[in-house]
């Protein structure tokens, strides 16, 4: 595998985890009373801000210093920050259980590996 393919595979796994986490977050949020929706959305945004600020700093540093590899870092940093933010948002909605986390990780690996395999065929 080339280095670009490895970066793409890692980013795919992060995107998959973030997507599955977002689906669970929306499902759990929909079960709560409507008065809790806005505060929990703002908490999720608050969890996403540090990752996006880091992304902005990396982009600006790459542009300022002329690093050509900053695009590769962004390709992994954005979905990783999104995955961490959604994970933290999920922790605000529920009690963490090993069974739920393990199921989401296994589903991430299954879907992510399928997508990676499918891309390698094309």
pLDDT (0 to 100) of residue 121: 83
Residue in this structure with the two tokens 């989401």, named with its chain if needed? 104
What are the tens digits of pLDDT across the range 16-68? 999 999 999 999 999 999 999 999 999 999 999 999 999 999 989 988 888 88
pLDDT at residue number 83: 96
Q: What pLDDT, on a 0 to 100 scale, did the predictor assign at position 100?
A: 83
CB 28 within 8 A of CB 94: yes
Residue 95 has pLDDT above 90, yes or no: no
What is the chain's alpha carbon radius of gyration, rounded to the nearest angstrom?
16
User: What residues make up the domain containing 48?
Assistant: 3-121
Q: Tell me how many helices (H) and strands (E) the chain has.
A: 4, 0
66/68 Cα distance (integer angstroms): 6
pTM, two decimal places: 0.90
């Amino acid at each position: 595998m080339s280095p670009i393919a490895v970066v793409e595979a890692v980013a795919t796994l992060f995107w998959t985890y973030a997507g599955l986490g977002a689906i669970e977050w929306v499902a759990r949020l929909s079960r709560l009373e409507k008065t809790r929706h806005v505060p929990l959305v703002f908490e999720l945004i608050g969890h996403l801000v540090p990752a996006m600020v880091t992304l902005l700093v990396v982009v600006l540093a790459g542009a300022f210093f002329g690093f050509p590899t900053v695009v590769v870092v962004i390709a992994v940093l954005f979905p990783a920050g999104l995955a961490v933010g959604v994970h933290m948002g999920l922790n605000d909605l529920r009690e963490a259980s090993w069974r739920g986390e393990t199921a989401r990780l296994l589903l991430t690996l299954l879907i992510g590996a399928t997508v990676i395999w499918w891309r390698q065929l094309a």
